Chain A
């Protein structure tokens, strides 16, 4: 069974997934970040593949992405860094990034390298579900690679059900009409969107992402979904404290403290 399914079978609340950009703060921090996130108690990790033009990202991840690229990160190098990661951690690992580097790498080649290194799924926000089904799903299935799809506040219920019928593992619930970034808390409008989404009774579990920046917003999000994803807040911490094991572990523990 795919590790993502295993996780959601075992746990239906309080799941914390942490995003970071590969190659940031330094080129070779990838494995150190992953292992320490796992040690701290993160349930899942999203490894950001840096891209020159991250359309769905706010300033924090834009900055970590361009720094990572300047540091020399590439998809090819990332896969070689991930060689052996499965000897160290067993939590689900996802790659999150944009379609162009994957196309350039070759989609089948990409899927194969994911399978070889132990990547369980991918999130590619600019790959439309329709194109995925038409052109790539067969390949993804061949390598048992999950493709996680997004819904947003303006996704209507018909489309949410359509996305539910195609996504693997879980649904990434984008918390507001915005790009990624650090936000102070949820508005009433966001809460009613979460409630509306829960009431759709979708077949996949929900993870809420974008703007989850504190233990408070995390525990709040957990009231509606099986858990949530934090990215910009974690990267900000790395910006301040650098890549060191104890800070990473402390970050994860602290995030879960309000549960």
Chain B
């Protein structure tokens, strides 16, 4: 593999573990154990069995005939929205809960923005009988009430975070602070390919089941080994990392990552990190992030809470530098229009995050014979309010 993490936990100059000494033993423990654990037969057996029988994998690869007709190309949708809890996030949390158990941890902390990762974390904690504490910015607690209720129903404690701007970035800070204060019994279950090494690599590997399945399903359905393009949205980058993973070395496959442009990359109200960010350190990782001239991390904006993160996984900072991944971005409006198009043509209500990936279809050119895989990272139930508002405003 050409695009592997190095022994010190870096992708080129990106990645690493820029953490205070108080976290060093925790991180060191995880660094020294994760590969062995996830490579072991008993882990793999349990992980794949849960993915299949509990989460409902493999998720379908669906040929979207009417959408294909609309864009004059061949479009396949990878249906992560059909997973248990409604998004790709469960692939990661099933893997991490098995790790937490094997490390003898009894308590799990997690951060969440939209609440999708929080729900996925609360779900697996219930399954494993471990205590679950989810940090969520107070603003997000208010914006995403149904997911807060879901987490509580599943037995998790949801702690509203009042520091900073009271959104995902601050919730992540607070989860890390909790881990500093509870180093012995607590496992930190991060929700994307971000944070200190080994999380970016760990979460990438746990999400790589997405591309593992695409390979097999595409062969079965089309007789072809590779698609021409794969399109995924990026917040931190976990669904994209998992969808690209087994294609990274297949040069002929175009990999397209779509960031949230919010109201537009020039407006100052955007979450398109690669488009407007610069190198620095966020949540223990050296990567590209949104910051001001003084090195203060700035607040992102997107209609989609799951893409509302001012950094990006270090793998993507590197893939961008190497030119291996093409970065696109889509505005709120473009994403909403793409979501409605999918609803009306295919009868699928996508998550607002996933709608950003769909929006890229309208910004790129494909030939009639191209095979384009679009990752539907989650379902849109949580976004009903935004959809209803948009429909009313635009008479849809």
Binding site for B on A (CB under 8 A): 51-56, 58-59, 62, 66, 69, 74-76, 98-105, 125-128, 131, 149-152, 154-156, 159, 163, 174, 177-179
Stretch at the interface among B50-58, B278-286, B318-326, B344-352: B278-286
Question: CB-CB < 8 A to A174: which residues of B?
Answer: 21-22
Question: CB-CB < 8 A to A99: which residues of B?
Answer: 18, 281
B177 contacts partner chain A, Cβ-Cβ < 8 Å: yes
**Residue from A62, A74, A100, A101 within 8 A of B282 (CB atoms):** A100
Say whether, besides A99-B18, A155-B21, A51 and B181 are in contact (CB < 8 Å).
Answer: no
B17 contacts partner chain A, Cβ-Cβ < 8 Å: yes
B164 contacts partner chain A, Cβ-Cβ < 8 Å: yes
- Cα of A131 to Cα of B16 in the assembled complex, Å: 9
B144 contacts partner chain A, Cβ-Cβ < 8 Å: no
Q: B173 to A177, Cβ gap below 8 A? A: no
B208 contacts partner chain A, Cβ-Cβ < 8 Å: no
Interface size class of B (residues with CB under 8 A): 20 to 34
Question: CB-CB < 8 A to B176: which residues of A?
Answer: 55
Q: Within residues 12 to 53 of chain B, which ones have a CB less than 8 A from any CB in chain A? A: 16-22, 24-25
Say whether, besides A52-B296, A53-B164, A69-B296, A100 and B19 are in contact (CB < 8 Å).
Answer: no
Q: A177 to B20, Cβ gap below 8 A? A: no
- Cα of A103 to Cα of B13 in the assembled complex, Å: 14
**Residue from B16, B280, B293 within 8 A of A103 (CB atoms):** B280
The minimal Cβ–Cβ distance linking B344 to chain A, given in whole angstroms, is 42
**Residue from B21, B173, B293 within 8 A of A53 (CB atoms):** B173
Question: CB-CB < 8 A to A69: which residues of B?
Answer: 296
- Cα of A102 to Cα of B296 in the assembled complex, Å: 10
Say whether, besides A69-B296, A177-B183, A150 and B21 are in contact (CB < 8 Å).
Answer: yes
B294 contacts partner chain A, Cβ-Cβ < 8 Å: yes
- Cα of A174 to Cα of B279 in the assembled complex, Å: 30
Question: CB-CB < 8 A to B298: which residues of A?
Answer: 52
Q: B164 to A126, Cβ gap below 8 A? A: no
- Cα of A101 to Cα of B296 in the assembled complex, Å: 7
Binding site for A on B (CB under 8 A): 16-22, 24-25, 163-164, 169-170, 173, 176-177, 180-184, 279-284, 291, 293-298
Q: A66 to B164, Cβ gap below 8 A? A: yes
Q: Name A176's closest neighbour in chain B (CB-CB).
A: B181
Q: A105 to B18, Cβ gap below 8 A? A: no
Question: CB-CB < 8 A to B279: which residues of A?
Answer: 103
The minimal Cβ–Cβ distance linking B168 to chain A, given in whole angstroms, is 12
Q: A104 to B173, Cβ gap below 8 A? A: no
Q: A53 to B294, Cβ gap below 8 A? A: no
- Cα of A126 to Cα of B19 in the assembled complex, Å: 5
The minimal Cβ–Cβ distance linking A187 to chain B, given in whole angstroms, is 14
A-B contacts, 17 of them at CB < 8 A, read A52-B164, A53-B283, A55-B177, A55-B284, A100-B295, A103-B280, A104-B294, A125-B20, A125-B21, A126-B284, A128-B24, A131-B18, A149-B21, A151-B21, A152-B22, A177-B181, A178-B180
Q: B295 to A55, Cβ gap below 8 A? A: no
**Residue from B20, B281, B294 within 8 A of A150 (CB atoms):** B20
- Cα of A149 to Cα of B184 in the assembled complex, Å: 22
Question: CB-CB < 8 A to B25: which residues of A?
Answer: 154-156
Say whether, besides A53-B164, A177-B180, A127 and B18 are in contact (CB < 8 Å).
Answer: yes
Question: CB-CB < 8 A to A151: which residues of B?
Answer: 21
Q: Name B280's closest neighbour in chain A (CB-CB).
A: A100
Question: CB-CB < 8 A to A155: which residues of B?
Answer: 21, 24-25
- Cα of A126 to Cα of B180 in the assembled complex, Å: 13
Q: Name B289's closest neighbour in chain A (CB-CB).
A: A100
Q: B295 to A104, Cβ gap below 8 A? A: yes
Q: Name A105's closest neighbour in chain B (CB-CB).
A: B295
- Cα of A154 to Cα of B179 in the assembled complex, Å: 13
Ordered nearest first, which 5 A-B pairs have the shortest CB separation? A104-B295, A101-B295, A125-B20, A74-B294, A52-B296
Q: A101 to B19, Cβ gap below 8 A? A: no
Q: A103 to B20, Cβ gap below 8 A? A: no
Given contacts A74-B294, A100-B291, A177-B181, 10 further A-B contacts (CB under 8 A): A52-B297, A55-B284, A62-B164, A100-B281, A103-B280, A104-B295, A105-B295, A150-B22, A151-B21, A178-B181
The minimal Cβ–Cβ distance linking B18 to chain A, given in whole angstroms, is 5
**Residue from A56, A102, A127 within 8 A of B180 (CB atoms):** A56
- Cα of A101 to Cα of B278 in the assembled complex, Å: 12
Q: A56 to B296, Cβ gap below 8 A? A: no
Question: CB-CB < 8 A to B183: which residues of A?
Answer: 154, 177
- Cα of A69 to Cα of B299 in the assembled complex, Å: 14
The minimal Cβ–Cβ distance linking B215 to chain A, given in whole angstroms, is 37
Question: CB-CB < 8 A to A128: which residues of B?
Answer: 16-19, 24
- Cα of A100 to Cα of B294 in the assembled complex, Å: 9
